Chain A
Amino acid sequence: MTINEKQDEIIDEFDLFEDQLDKTQYIIDLGKKLPPMAESKKTDENRIMGCQSKVWVDAELKGDRLYFYGDSEPTAQISKGLVGLLIRVLSGEKPEDIANADLYFIPRVGMGNLITSLRAGGLASMIERMKAYGRAYSTVKQ
């Protein structure tokens, strides 16, 4: 599935919910399903700044695909869900596709204050980090 196909799938899933709270619940549940990151990977280097809660993202190139791993401090379940959502869209894709991805699903899923609140600073930083990995590995390949 391409990045855009995954985005469309997520938009369809969120369309099932009318209520903001249900959407948030869905994100929390996504976070709960996210495999925990190795403690050794929760380094300052992997920490995403701009989040009020602690969030880490790491990446690994396997063949021509880039895989992401992420986690948050245990209590910050919404952040963890948001990392999970981004991983679902971007992980396992080619670095250049990640670097060039237009993440249109974010405004379309209507997550309201999850996106517009302070947390958006964190979300934007998570996206920026993942795209930076995409750019870095595209460069390496060239």
Chain B
Amino acid sequence: MQSAIDTPLDIQKIRQDFPILDQQVNGRPLVYFDNAATNQKPLPVIHALTRYYEGYNANIHRGIHHLAEQATAAFEASRRAIQEFLNAKHWQEIIFTYGTTDGINLVAQSYGRHFLKEGDEIIISTMEHHSNIVPWQMLCEEKGCILKVIPVNDNGELLLDEYEKLLSEKTKFVSCVHVSNALGTINPVKTIIDKAHAVGAVVLIDGAQASSHLELDVQALDADFYVLSAHKLYGPTGMGVLYGKRAILDAMPPYRGGGEMIKEVTFAKTTYADLPYKFEAGTPNIADVVAVKTALEYMAGLGKEAIAAHEADLLHYATEQLAGLDGLRIIGQAKHKIGVISFVMEGIHHQDIGVILDQQGIAVRTGHHCTMPLMQRFGIAGTTRASFAVYNTRDEVDRLVQGLRRVQKMML
């Protein structure tokens, strides 16, 4: 049952780049299907991290010694790499954060607190991760803004006509996920952005799930903000990116105070640094920023289109195979999806599924996936989610199906 698709990728060779995959879990070869939570890191990324600490660890920007210069150069080279990856117009538009959640909070706290006022409306969608709900709720509580929510249909697709009804001159901000972590749905973000702009609203796109699967072009999208996490694109944890249009970022006040973000400090007054440093207070996560460039190079080396084609094949194959299991219902059957399959099984709690799959060496995620309102929309407490990355195979999908048959045998 090995993959026989038109992918130019040699998956077995790729798997050798990911040493973590080569291990036994509970006496069986590991199947890692929790990629939407975080994907695994290839050797070049791991090596980039150790090279940094072994060779040129130093605090960046103000040092005048050799190592500091080397570290600064590598750090800023990563910024340019991200700029290219997102096709941002200016390198100053790339702000390093601790992750997607951090980026959204930065925008909510800086842009939101400064520019939004009582009665202004913020639109999000039903399929947002809690990290794209709670920061806006906090802002609404503080400023008296009103949160509106785009509903989804039974397939897990946004209802765009309902979105249009929500839009008005009161809409000041739209924050929407590019790809749903719980369902895999790819949202039509270009349309969402254009419609928001038509009423003068500013738009943030949560690209956490999209970044390793889709070609990104923030200029073509005309996104005002785009946020992502490095650890979901084969890079290190604890590092993310906020892209913002230069004019908007320039107008925003700093979010955190400290080193790096200042021009001059006296006890009478502090003046702030220019972009992007104004938003990067404190010593940043230098090693992980440096290594993310390697992750982007790794993905580019494989080819994002080829990766997407391989994952699409796995999605198609898994959808077909899972359909053969009695009582299994896939939650989220959007026309446009990435390689994420969320499902429920009649009479079996998702956590029991997760435990018994784990005992067979298969790693999936179970629960509400930090999307409780979305689960409520579907009338469920949670799902079991299998999510695919470039190193997964059809054989592993077969293991999942066998594993689920075992679950059914034990439970029913």
Contacts and interface: CB of A to CB of B under 8 A. Distances in A.
Given A28-B410, A76-B349, A112-B26, A21 B355 contact: no
B33 to A, nearest CB: 16
B356 interface: yes
Contacts of A113: 26, 355, 358-359
B94 to A, nearest CB: 36
Interface of B: 26-27, 347-349, 351-352, 354-356, 358-360, 366-367, 382, 406, 410-411
Nearest to B347: A75
A118 B351 contact: yes
B352 A76 contact: yes
A73 B349 contact: yes
A7 interface: no
- Which 4 pairs show the lowest CB-CB distances between chains A and B? A76-B349, A75-B349, A20-B359, A78-B352
Contacts of A21: 356, 359-360, 406, 410
Contacts of B367: 52
A114 B354 CA distance: 10
Contacts of B355: 24, 78, 113-114, 117, 119
Given A28-B410, A28-B411, A52-B367, A77 B359 contact: no
21 contacts: A20-B359, A24-B355, A24-B356, A25-B410, A28-B411, A52-B367, A52-B382, A73-B349, A75-B347, A75-B349, A76-B349, A76-B351, A77-B349, A77-B352, A78-B351, A79-B349, A112-B359, A113-B358, A113-B359, A117-B358, A118-B351
State which size class the interface on A falls in: 20 to 34
Interface in A34-81: 52-53, 73-79
A52 B411 CA distance: 18
A17 to B, nearest CB: 12
A21 B352 CA distance: 12
A28 B351 CA distance: 13
Contacts of A24: 355-356, 359, 410
Most buried by A among B354, B355, B360: B355
A135 B382 CA distance: 35
Contacts of A114: 355
Interface string A98-130: 000000000000001110011100000000000
B37 to A, nearest CB: 13
A25 B360 CA distance: 13
B13 to A, nearest CB: 31
Given A21-B406, A112-B26, A53 B359 contact: no
A119 B351 contact: yes
B99 to A, nearest CB: 22
Contacts of B356: 21, 24
B410 A53 contact: no
Nearest to B359: A20
